[in-house]
Structure 1
Amino acid sequence: MVYVESTSPPKVSSLAKRIHGWSWQAFPIGMGTGAVYVTLSGLKAHSSALTTVETVFYFLNMSLFLLNTITLFVQAIVYPRQAWRLLNDPVKGIFVPLVVLSFATILIGTINYAVPPGHIMPEYIYGLFWVYVGFACLTCFPMLMIWFNKPHDLTHFTPAYAFLIFPMMLVGVVAFNVLKTISATDTRAVGVLVVGYFFQGVGFFMTFFYLCIYVIRIMTTGFLDGHQANGAFVACGPPGFTALALLKLGEHARNILPAHQLISPTAGEIWYATSVLAAIMLYGLAVFFFVFGILPYWFKLHKHLNEILGCWALTFPNVGWISTTRALGDVFNIKGFFYIHLVMAILMCATWTILFILTVTAFWKGLIFCSKDEDVLKDIIVDADEHEQVLHESKARTMV
């Protein structure tokens, strides 16, 4: 009797393929969810029912954040080669700092929905602010070292590369939200204000250099196409969020600087006035980049469901200039700004709904966050061989 050895590869469970295929590109989903309640929270007409809707999105965002962090942590333990591969990938690696941005949206949501009812004490928010600043620095600088250690082709440049700086740029936005919970007469307010301006300057000017390269790139190659077409909306983020941060930090500076008798008696008003002027100009730049991205978008985008994750760039980068629209309405008392903000908030909710349905569909079909059997097996076999080699060397040293 002849026995034929089976050559079929071993089966890999669907859970193993999901864990192995998970990536840092999952965090934009949570950030897009956070973009919904951040945008809705700025509506002029605000009811208790709307606050309830925002709170639901807030808890959904936290759930997505925990899901992503836990899955990536398990991946780092079970498949360390894949985890290291994602960190060093020139494309997927730029999404690593988005874990910090997701934390920022949760922190802002906590200030809006947990502090007013008394569930979280304001003292904890001050501590979380410094946690965020440290988290941003400890994430951005190592990833910048990894990314800049390799050459990059400028003909494939995308504004999404600026994600490496985004966490530091958002310190100003987090700062003005934290200042809502601190009295202007408190000495801690001065530190939060200065740090907010400092990192907002670092983040904006560094990302501005990226935007200059982006303009040069589309001058030489034309509009971004395929999955990179989504990256055009990332260009709205730096000027939009900086405009918002300048407006709001300037408002707080009006009270904080005089309260502590800093610089001059009129320093607060001067800071506020210059912040409004700079914010208007940056707001114009953000709107320009939005229009510049939306006009060719549908014709340049590849309508492939496996590229749906990139489409989440339609949400969170636009929050900055949309929220600035509402803030400018308050500054100049122009109702038109409030109507524009309302329309954009509705469009933001509609975009989130469409993207969420498409993302769930892509996940269900295994088009995203799912590795092939051979990729999982390859990492398992390599890790097993390395483990066996270590044991063999350990035994050899023991015998000697």
Structure 2
Amino acid sequence: MASQSQDLSSEGTVPKVGRLARRIHGWSWQAFPIGMGTGAVYVTMSGIEDHSPALTSVETVFFFINIALFLLNTTTLLIQAILYPRQAWRLLQDPVKGIFVPLVVLSFATIIIGTINYGVPSGHVSPGFIYALFWVYVTFAILVCFPMLMIWFNKPHDLATFTPAWAFLIFPMMLVGVVGFNVLRVVPAEDPRALGVLLVAYVFQGLGFFVTFFYICIYIIRIMMTGFLDGHQANGAFVACGPPGFTALALINLGKRAQQILPKYKLVSPAAGEIWYASSVMAGLLLFGLAVFFFIFGALPYWFKLHKHLHEILGCWALTFPNVGWIATIRVLGDTFGIEGFFVWHTIMAVLMCIVWLVLFSFTAVAFWKGKIFMAKDEDVIKDMIPEKTRESESETSTIVDSTEKPPHNVHGYNYV
């Protein structure tokens, strides 16, 4: 293959590579937002007040689509790592595509939530298995986030190109609180394991939120310097909705579980459960307002700043999953305060989420079919197919050939021929 590549390159042509090989080589971690956007649909729909069996069936379809996309992405990236290890390592170190690596953990989180929603009530999954999945998720988040943070922060980055999407590096740890309160829906308060889940969920939710809040502060500084995000970065403005939205959702729900769990074990004080719940609702309201502000702040200039290019469609999936947190919080606030308007607002946003998913999925399918996304060039595939030693020897040979073609010259009294 190396000799064939060298011969054809000397003739000025590039050998053709199979379409499947170009797909595998061109796959990237940016594929996971598609699954997360699909998960956003059933997570949002599951909170609709008037919940019919038909609606549950539709949610289940989206749940299995999400699982299929997760398996497709992980399998393709694994094959890529085996066949083209240089490309796989290049993606991990890429300052843009590398920030999407932790999204594999977030995709796993949506699958856990879907399993709780549809697997446990049907009796196919036990609460004990869900408890084990919680610790698998926590371990998975730590093992992915910390190495990626070390790789990413090992190089300097330009503040003028900052986007809230850089916070993806810490998102999986922030979502421990969201996964935790969903686990506590099926693990009863009387179970001793519930206390451990509650405390760990609070710790990681606080860790994730405050670190991502630092990113949001940098985002405000960035737009003060350069104005609103434009081009493909305009999608990243919606990522700023994620930390306050998901933290509001987690705090209110964890506070509600603390209201039941803490009195069971007579911890802190007799009124600790009530105090935790009341303070969580107040903090949740504050963060909910911030999330809605960032949504409006990103939506108003969005259409005018976005570049309508089909090859940038993957970035548009940021319209879906970062907004799930504050949209789901609308339903929780409706339950908390008994205000019907919250339920209507939540239903409207759930319908809009479905419409956005349908539009994005259609454009993504067209972009995939036309080769605008997940399609490498022939020369890039061939370059990574040639062993490193062969490439080095070819480079040395070409250098010798070039030097022999040049006329002899004298440098410091020596003839270099």
- Report the TM-score, using the length of structure 1 for normalisation: 0.95
Q: How does 1:86-235 map to 2 (within 5 A)?
A: 86-235=91-240
1:51 to 56, 60, 63: 56
Q: Distance in 1 between matches of 2:272 and 2:311?
A: 53
Q: How many Å apart are 1:385 and its aligned residue?
A: 2.3
Q: Distance in 2 between matches of 1:367 and 1:29?
A: 15
Give 4+ residue runs of structure 1 displaced > 4 Å after superposition.
386-389
Q: Deviation per CA, 1:249-303: give whole Å up to 9, x if none.
A: 0010000000111111110000000000000000000000000000000000000
Structure 1 vs Structure 2 CA RMSD: 1.3
Q: Distance in 1 between matches of 2:16 and 2:141?
A: 40
- The structure that has the greater radius of gyration is 2
Which residue identity does 1:211 align to in structure 2? I
C-alpha distance 123-388 of structure 1, shift in aligned 2 (>3 A) = farther
Shifted more, 354-363 versus 260-269: the winner is 260-269
1:24 to 22, 29, 33: 29
SS at match of 1:151: coil
Q: How many Å apart are 1:382 and its aligned residue?
A: 3.9
Match of 1:273 in 2: 278
Q: Deviation per CA, 1:86-126: give whole Å up to 9, x if none.
A: 00000000000000000000000000000111001110000
Q: Deviation per CA, 1:47-82: give whole Å up to 9, x if none.
A: 000000000000000000000000000000000000
1:9 to 4, 11, 14: 14
Q: How many residues align?
A: 385
Which residue identity does 1:348 align to in structure 2? M
Which residue identity does 1:108 align to in structure 2? I
Q: Distance in 2 between matches of 1:225 and 1:157?
A: 12
Q: Distance in 2 between matches of 1:384 and 1:375?
A: 17
Which residue identity does 2:55 align to in structure 1? L
SS at match of 1:181: coil
Shifted more, 294-303 versus 254-263: the winner is 254-263
Q: Distance in 2 between matches of 1:378 and 1:52?
A: 47
Q: How does 1:351-362 map to 2 (within 5 A)?
A: 351-362=356-367
Q: Distance in 2 between matches of 1:192 and 1:121?
A: 16
Q: Distance in 1 between matches of 2:321 and 2:358?
A: 14
SS at match of 1:180: coil
- Structure 2 unaligned segments of length 5 or more: list them: 1-6, 395-417
Q: Distance in 1 between matches of 2:300 and 2:41?
A: 23
- Structure 1 unaligned segments of length 5 or more: list them: 390-400
* Mapped pair 1:310 → 2:334: no
SS at match of 2:16: coil
* Mapped pair 1:350 → 2:355: yes
Match of 2:415 in 1: none
Q: Distance in 1 between matches of 2:392 and 2:120?
A: 49
Which residue identity does 2:64 align to in structure 1? F
Q: Distance in 2 between matches of 1:355 and 1:387?
A: 43
Q: Distance in 2 between matches of 1:294 and 1:219?
A: 17
1:329 to 327, 334, 347: 334
Match of 1:286 in 2: 291
* Mapped pair 1:85 → 2:90: yes
Q: Distance in 1 between matches of 2:388 and 2:113?
A: 41
Q: Distance in 2 between matches of 1:175 and 1:385?
A: 51
Q: How does 1:236-275 map to 2 (within 5 A)?
A: 236-275=241-280
Q: How many Å apart are 1:384 and its aligned residue?
A: 7.1
Which residue identity does 2:256 align to in structure 1? E
Q: Distance in 1 between matches of 2:393 and 2:84?
A: 16
Q: How many Å apart are 1:387 and its aligned residue?
A: 11
SS at match of 2:386: helix
SS at match of 1:353: helix
